[in-house]
Structures are given as C-alpha cells and as structure tokens.
Amino acid sequence: MPNYDYSCEQGHIFEIYQSFTEEALTVCPEDGEKVHRIIYAAYIASAARPTSPGAIQAVQKNEYEKSLEKDLPAYKRLRKQGFQPKSTLGAAALEAGATTKFEVQSGKISKEPKKLQQAVDMFEQTMGHSVFTPQVKPKGA
C-alpha cells in the first residue's frame, strides 16, 4: 500500500497508508485544519519552461516541495525527539542551528539560546505550563 504524507495548514505533518482507491484525507486529525497531500518534486515530471501563470505557479509549488524534501525529514526527526516545530518549512535549518527546545518550537534561532532557555524554564516552572500552551478562551468570548 502506498504511504502518503500530508501537511495541514498549521504545519502538522503525518503519513498514512492508503490504497490508491481510498479518498484523500481532507482534515488534520490534530486540529481539523485542511490538509494537502504532499507530492514530492521527484515525482513531478519536469515540464518545459513555464509560460502561463498557472505553469509559473506550478514551478513555485515545485520549489516549495523541493524545500520540503530537506525540511520534512528534519521535521520528522525533531518530532521523534519530542519537539513540535511550528512548521515543516525551515525545519532543516532549525535542526542544524537550534540548540534549545524553545528555538525549535518557536522557529527562531536565538543569539543567546542559553539565556532564552533559562527564561523559558523559569516561566514554565512558575506558570506550570508550556510557553506554547495556547490561551484558553473563556466561553462566549
């Protein structure tokens, strides 16, 4: 059975096994956002030079997918290590350059990662939850 990678609009990535006849997944199991099947650049036949706007868009999409070829495996390795990067895009750079969990999860590489991590740790000890925990909206707000 083929194995498909999907990406949701929040950047979650997951892979599922599906038969060719099964319909494509449409929503993310984590947050219900729309998902897109990731089609790797390698599978896309290289076409002639783009002339129409549609063809140019297809090339830009191709670039995006090419960057995912590096970012997706990095993203998966980070997830396996217990990190939740914000997005797949840039995951390879984060994997290479980040030294703290905060940097990975915020998607920004800090010049003073140790100080930043200390501040994050202090926050989390004081508040009792992750800095990434979304604010819970009161009902009716």
Residues forming contacts to Zn ion in the complex (CB under 5 A) are 8, 10, 12, 28, 30-31, 33
Q: 3-class SS at 94?
A: helix
Q: 3-class SS at 125?
A: helix
Beta carbon of residue 32, minimum distance to Zn ion (angstroms, whole number): 8
Beta carbon of residue 33, minimum distance to Zn ion (angstroms, whole number): 5
Q: Which is nearer to Zn ion, 7 or 100 (CB)?
A: 7
Beta carbon of residue 30, minimum distance to Zn ion (angstroms, whole number): 4
Q: Which is nearer to Zn ion, 6 or 102 (CB)?
A: 6
DSSP state of 38: -
Contacts of 85 (CB under 8 A, 6+ apart): 11, 75, 78, 79, 91, 94, 104, 105, 107
Beta carbon of residue 86, minimum distance to Zn ion (angstroms, whole number): 11
For residue 87, which of 107, 103, 73 has the smallest C-alpha distance?
A: 107
Q: Which is nearer to Zn ion, 10 or 62 (CB)?
A: 10
Q: List Cα–Cα distances, 121 to 31, 79, 126, in angstroms.
A: 27, 20, 8
Q: Which is nearer to Zn ion, 64 or 115 (CB)?
A: 64
Distance CA 87, CA 50 (A): 29
Residue 40 contacts residue 69 (beta carbons within 8 Å)? yes
Beta carbon of residue 8, minimum distance to Zn ion (angstroms, whole number): 3
Q: Which is nearer to Zn ion, 8 or 92 (CB)?
A: 8
